[in-house]
Amino acid sequence: MELNGKVVLVTGASSGIGKAVAVALAGKGAHVLVHYGKNKAGAEDTLRAAEKVSTGALYQADLMDPERIAALFGEIRASGRAIDVLVNNAGDAQPGDIDEDDVWDYQYENIFLSAIRVSRAFLALPSARLRKIVNITSLYGNLTGGNPEYLQYSAFKAALANVTATLNKSLAPNVIVNAVAPGFTETPAWAGAPPEVKDALARTTSIGRFVTAEEVAHAVVFIAENDALVGQVLTLDGGTSVK
């Protein structure tokens, strides 16, 4: 897919991986729809960075609210633009063990069901062109990569990875779905982590450091451009899974 002139929606694009993805896609000439939930200032900063190289627009929605998702896509349709690429990035990780029902409920809505609902709204848009979905999963969502301290997050990222592969059986070749599974990635979420914790995690990689958000963004661009990549989860963890 040639990204120049295409319209891409990046959810959770106010910081971290989402911001880097939005700016990288703009760098390819895409018109970027920058979604945010609460961090308007961060989303505005993302849009400014994207508009230095392309064009874009700002959209707000609580993706755990089905009505707000419907309203979001209603606003996009009203703008007269069709979406060519959806990047499901929004969501946050909450720790929890098997007994914590509230964490199961929250992560199901926040990690899994929100991405499914957004994807469903995207697929309902009329289009005769090739379209793509790129899901941001996680190393924790890979079969042997789950973290018992983040059990629910790991489980629902794994579910999203399975949907990534399975959807292609009914949607391809009109819609192609892939995913990126980042490992430990340098984002604002780690800003308050003790240096010794980050150093210990960096030592679990083969490269001796965290992955950068820009490296994840580069992988998303590769997936969006490559039409032969179908139903894959590209693990980008600096070698943690193979060390």
Write down the catalytic residue from 36, 140, 150, 153: 153
- Has 36 been annotated as catalytic? no
**Domain residue ranges in the chain:** 7-236
Output the pTM of the full model.
0.96
Using the predicted structure, report yes or no on whether residue 28 has a pLDDT greater than 90.
yes
Mean pLDDT, the chain, rounded, equals 97
- Distance, in Å, from the CA atom of 163 to the CA atom of 179, rounded to the nearest integer, reads 10
Helix/strand/coil percent split, the chain, to 5: 45, 20, 35
Q: Across-strand partners of 106?
A: none
- What is the pLDDT at residue 192? 84
Residues comprising the chain, all counted: 243
Supply 189's token pair. Answer: 């979420």
The hierarchical CATH code for the domain 7-236 is: 3.40.50.720
Comparing 147 with 128, which gets the higher pLDDT? 147
pLDDT tens-place string over residues 48-86 = 999 999 999 999 999 999 999 999 999 999 999 899 999
What average pLDDT does range 7-21 have in this prediction?
A: 98
Taking the mean position of all CA atoms in its chain, how far away is CA 221? 12
pLDDT tens-place string over residues 109-128 = 999 999 999 999 999 998 98
